[in-house]
Copies of this chain bind each other. A is one copy, B any other.
Amino acid sequence: MKKLINSPETVVADSLRGLAIAHRELSVDVGKRVVVRGDAPVPGKVGILSGGGSGHEPLHVGYVGRGMLDAACPGEIFTSPSPQQILEATRRVDGGRGVLHIVKNYTGDVMNFEMAGDLARARGIEVRAVTVGDDVANDGLTTAGRRGVGATVLVEKICGAAAERRWPLARVADLGNRVIANARSMGIALTSCTVPSARRPTFTLGEDEMEVGIGMHGETGRFRHKLVPAREVAAILLDRVLADMPLEPGEQVLAFVNGMGATPLMELYIVLDEVARLLDARGLTLQRTLTGTYMAALDMAGCSLTVLRLDEEMTSLWDAPVATPALTWGTV
Contact = CB atoms under 8 A, between A and B. Distances in A.
Contact of A269 (B3, B15, B191, B332): B15
Given A17-B273, A21-B272, A229 B266 contact: no
- Most chain B CB within 10 A, of A57, A262, A263, A331, is at A262
A269 B22 CA distance: 8
Nearest to A59: B265
Contact of A331 (B57, B268, B301, B331): B331
Contact of A264 (B57, B227, B290): B57
A273 B30 CA distance: 12
A315 B207 CA distance: 47
A264 B299 contact: yes
Nearest to A207: B2
Interface stretch (A5-13, A99-107, A176-184, A306-314): A5-13
A199 to B, nearest CB: 11
Given A22-B269, A270-B11, A291-B18, A4 B233 contact: yes
B266 A54 contact: yes
A9 to B, nearest CB: 12
A2 B301 contact: yes
Interface in A236-252: none
Interface of A: 2-7, 11, 14-19, 21-22, 54-55, 57-58, 62, 190-191, 207, 210, 227, 229-231, 233, 261-274, 276, 286, 289-291, 293, 296, 298-299, 301-303, 323, 328-329, 331-332
What are the 7 tightest A-B residue pairs by CB atom distance, in nearest-first order?
A18-B269, A262-B262, A18-B273, A4-B267, A2-B190, A15-B269, A18-B272
14 contacts: A2-B210, A4-B271, A6-B231, A6-B274, A14-B270, A15-B267, A15-B270, A18-B268, A18-B270, A21-B272, A54-B266, A262-B262, A262-B301, A264-B296
